[in-house]
Each structure stands twice: as structure tokens, then as C-alpha cells.
Amino acid sequence: MANDFEPVIIGFTCNWCSYRAADVAGTTRLKYAPNVRLIRLMCSGRIDPTFVLKALADGADGVLITGCHPGDCHYLEQNYKALRRHRLLQRTLAQLGVEPERVHLTWASAAEGAIFAATIDRFVERVRALGPLRWPARPKPLPVAVAPELAEEALP
Amino acid sequence: MKPKFAMYWAASCGGCEIAVLNIDAKILDLDANFDVAFWPAAMDAKYKDLDAMADGSILVTLFNGSIRTAENEHLAKTLRRKSKILVAFGSCANEGCIPGLANLSSRESMLETAYGGPSTENPAQLRPQPTSQVPEGALTLPPVQPVVRTLDQVVEVDYHMPGCPPESHQIAAVVDLLVQVVQGRAELPPKGSVIGAGESTVCDECPRERNVKHLTQLRRIQELGPLDTTLCLLEQGLMCTGPATRSGCDARCPRVGAPCIGCYGVAPEALDQGARMMTAIASAIDAKEPEAIDGILDGIPDPAGTFYKFSLAHSLLRGGRAAHRETETP
């Protein structure tokens, strides 16, 4: 049932702006979609495409990357790194047949709780419309039939 | 009685076998200390001979090639049973290598490209059939599986030896180690170890001068003028995957002016070679505006094929949706 689909979304926030924005959204009791599991990092520049790919491979339907507005990075320019990685990752994902829109980048200052909540709502609806990703699980190798340790009799 | 040695090729090009022969006179040490029980590329052997061997009777098997067909899978499982030590030998067995790039496409489109593509002369439009009737009887071909898998996605693997192919000096060192183990003069490394390779990245072995990178363009080698012979290739605008690639090759390619293409696979401690390379490239690009960034990224016309040239089948996503779709359970 497509209507029952609740997207699983992993959201990466930076310690200084976007996590504070989520905090403001919470303390002002704004309601927004509960689909996003937020993970706080020190900076959006810490986000390696590995994190995004691992989330998608392990069951996430979308990934939200958030950071300080350009020019506001606590570490000067690291959010530009996030921007460049995001754009490159989207090109690679498109080749792999993953809709690039499943990985969204947005900026949020510490004061933008309402904007942040609305962005999450919009992103959840966009991923809901795309449908589940359901990436197949990693194959599990068969157990070894023979104990792999060196048996004495194999040696002269 | 000497312990038994085997080497097998699954979906591979045969380069690994040649690399083993390239160890020169060292091959005699292998012969002096091992009985070659099964090595289709080097000696006559039938699958029934292998089937007749007792489980665990082969001391060490070097398995190269990825798992593309049902036959590859069957041999991987058989050799696992027959071998005390199973080594994933070379890039294909470890990470899928070039055969693994087929995971960007569906099986149908892959076969279509191979048998009907513009570079194929096939006027009768023949396609491989699972069974063909000939006067002598029925001939069968092993089914092609939807997704290329690596050896460790099919059976447990004891050691990993990367490289396309592994460098001969690394193979010689591993042969030396095996001989010493057989003679009781050395211990095997812990199970699961990467052998015959380095513990850093290609950049660490590269003699070229490295600086803080400010990439303003990425170009193909023929589009660039004469290259500086001492400066980092990436800094000169050439896509070099050294930062994401495991060391062990002595940086042979960048040393002579050819960029690293990543054949030693994902760097130690990293999960995904392509993601690692995306991180490295994106960090080094000197642009802040989306349009300027895109202009530089246009210099990478095939990101998936560039970053995952050797490791797609073992990457986090293991391929594209087109290949995975066939394996989905409705």
C-alpha cells in the first residue's frame, strides 16, 4: 500500500546552526514530520558521501544534509565542501539509478526553526512521492564447511 | 608429500595468472614446495578431478575473478570446501574490478551491448543460449547472474590480495611467506588480513610533490599540455584516484605520468572507494558557487565509472538499480 509508506530519512545536522534550528523547532513546539532521524555532527564538512551511501544501502529512503548558511560556517568554509560533495554525489547517484532528489542539501541558521521544520516536511513528502528505495541487503557469504585454520595434517 | 596448491579463474581476464608467472624463477620455489593440484590456466585439470579431492585437502587456493555466472559460483563453493586457505586474489575476486562495472546495467542491456553493440560484428544477431542442440548432442552454458559479486559475497575468504593484477614483487613476497609457513619458519597473518599490499594510499608512495590543492579544472590527459614531471597529477587537473586507493603498487602509474585509476582498491580504513574519492575531489575543488562547482565537475564525465572503476561490486551500493532490480523479491 503506497499510502502506508513512511519514508525513513537520515538527517545530518551541524552542531552550530542546523542542529540549533532543530532545537528551536522543538522548544517552540512546532509540529513536523517524524520521519527524519537526526544525527548531529560538528560540521557539515564532516559529512563524507560514505555516510550517505551507507544510510541508503542500509534501509534509508532519503538523506537530508544540513549546515550553516554559506559564509556562516563555524569552521569558515567547510559547508562549501559539503555543497561540492553533495553536487558530486548527486551526479554519481543518478548514474547508479538512485533519484538524486533523495539526497537533499539545505542550510539553516540557529534562528530558523520554523523554516527547518517546513523544509523537513517538504522533503518527507518529496521522498514519499518517490516511494521506498528498498536497496537490496548485502549478500551474506556461506559459512565455511571446513575449518579454515591450518590443520596439522595439511603440513608435511 | 607436499601440500597442495590451486589457482582458479572465474570472471577475469587472465592477467592475474600472467602476474603469477611474472614472478620469474620464484615460481620454482612454489613448485618445489607445493603440488599443483588444480590450475586450469597452467595445466590440464577437469572439474571431476577437483570434485574427487577430499574436503580441505588443498592447503591454499588463489582465487581470481569475480562471480558472474552460476559456474563461477559453483567453483567458488567447491574450492572453498576443498581448501584450507582461500585467498581472494586480485581486484576481481576482491572488489569486482572491470567485470563489476556491469552492475551499472541490467543483465539484458549488458548482453545486448556485448552481442549487439556497435563494436560487435554479429550479422546473424546470435545470442548465447542456455542450451544449444548440435549434431553431437546438447551444449549448455552456465547462466549469467543478474549481479556481479565478489568472492567474499559468496563464500568466506581467509585473505585478500588486491591489485589489477597484483604486482609481481608482492606475489613473490606472498609466495615466500607461504613457503616459509609450509617449512614452519613463519606464521600466517590473522584471518581476514589484506596481504601483498600496503597500509596507506597510493599518494604516500608517490614521489610527486604535493601541495594544498586548489582545483580549477579537471581535464583528460590529451586535453592538457605537457605535464610537469614532478608535481602531483591531481594538482595539474588530471583525475588521479591515488587519494582513495590502497598502496602496494609503489605508485607505478603516477610515477610515469599516468594517473592512478584505483586498481589496488579501497584505501585501508575506508568503506567505499568511490565515496572516498568524491570526498577528496570535492574538498580540493576551488569554487564556492554552484555554477562554478558544476563547471569543474563537468570535467568528470563518468563519475561512477571513474570512482568505482575497480570496486563497484564491493562498494556500499554494489551497483546500480538496473542490476539490483532483478534480484528484488516482490
C-alpha cell at B287: 569554487
pLDDT value for A85: 98
**pLDDT bucket at A125, cuts 50 / 70 / 90:** very high
Cβ–Cβ under 8 Å, residues A74 and A68: yes
| Percent share of chain B, pLDDT over 90 | 94
A28 Cβ under 8 Å from any chain B Cβ: no
Please provide the average confidence, as pLDDT, over all residues in chain A.
90
Angle at B236 between CA B234 and CA B241, to 5 degrees: 15
pLDDT value for B242: 97
pLDDT digits (tens, 9 = 90+) for B162-172: 999 999 999 99
Residue B37 DSSP code: E
Q: Which of B81, B149, B157 sits opposite A146 (nearest CB)?
A: B81
Q: Which of A49, A95, A146 sits opposite B104 (nearest CB)?
A: A95
pLDDT value for B326: 84
Contacts of A146 (CB under 8 A, 6+ apart): B55, B56, B80, B81, B82, B83, B84
The model's pTM = 0.93
* DSSP track, B207-233: -SB-----B---B-GGGS-SPPSSB-T
pLDDT value for B124: 93
Reply yes or no on whether the pLDDT at B53 is more than 60: yes
Reply yes or no on whether the pLDDT at B207 is more than 90: yes
pLDDT value for A3: 66
| Contact assignment for A156 to B328 by CB distance below 8 Å | no
| Contact assignment for A81 to B316 by CB distance below 8 Å | no
Among A67, A51, A76, A139, residue whose Cα is nearest residue A106: A67
β-partners of residue B9 are B64
User: A142: which chain B residues are within 8 Å (Cβ-Cβ)?
Assistant: 77, 80, 154-156
pLDDT value for B156: 95
**pLDDT bucket at B1, cuts 50 / 70 / 90:** confident
- Reported ipTM: 0.93
* All domains of chain A in start order, with CATH: 2-131 (3.40.50)
| Contact assignment for A139 to B56 by CB distance below 8 Å | no
pLDDT digits (tens, 9 = 90+) for A74-119: 999 999 999 999 999 999 999 999 999 999 999 999 999 999 999 9
pLDDT digits (tens, 9 = 90+) for B58-98: 999 999 999 999 999 999 999 999 999 999 999 999 999 99
What is the arithmetic mean of pLDDT over A23-36?
96
All CATH 3.40.50.700 domain ranges of chain B, comma separated, are 4-99+146-182
Reply yes or no on whether the pLDDT at A151 is more than 50: no
pLDDT digits (tens, 9 = 90+) for B287-307: 999 999 999 999 999 999 999
What is the arithmetic mean of pLDDT over A130-134?
96
- From residue B66, alpha-carbon distances to B72, B173, B192, B278 in Å are 8, 24, 18, 25
Rounded Cα distance between B265 and B262, Å, is: 6
C-alpha cell at B177: 611467506
What is the arithmetic mean of pLDDT over A34-63?
97
CA-based nearest distance A20→chain B, Å: 24
C-alpha cell at B122: 554479429
Rama region for B266: left / alpha / beta (φ>0; ψ in -120 to 50; rest): beta
| Contact assignment for B275 to A70 by CB distance below 8 Å | no
Q: Which of B152, B324, B327 sits opposite A141 (nearest CB)?
A: B152
Cβ–Cβ under 8 Å, residues A75 and A15: no
pLDDT digits (tens, 9 = 90+) for B107-138: 999 999 999 988 999 999 999 999 999 999 99
Picking from A43, A96, A107, A149 by the largest number of B CB atoms within 10 A of its own CB, the best residue to mutate is A96
**pLDDT bucket at B219, cuts 50 / 70 / 90:** very high
Contacts of B289 (CB under 8 A, 6+ apart): none
CATH, range B4-99+146-182? 3.40.50.700
Reply yes or no on whether the pLDDT at A147 is more than 50: no
pLDDT value for A142: 63
pLDDT value for B329: 58
Among A74, A59, A63, residue whose Cα is nearest residue A39: A63
Residue B66 DSSP code: B
Residue B301 DSSP code: S
Among A123, A133, A107, A116, residue whose Cα is nearest residue A55: A133
Rounded Cα distance between A95 and A100, Å, is: 9
**pLDDT bucket at A144, cuts 50 / 70 / 90:** low
Among A45, A61, A52, A58, residue whose Cα is nearest residue A8: A61
A134 Cβ under 8 Å from any chain B Cβ: yes
Among B165, B188, B179, B183, residue whose Cα is nearest residue B21: B165
A143 Cβ under 8 Å from any chain B Cβ: yes
pLDDT value for A4: 87
CA-based nearest distance B261→chain A, Å: 17
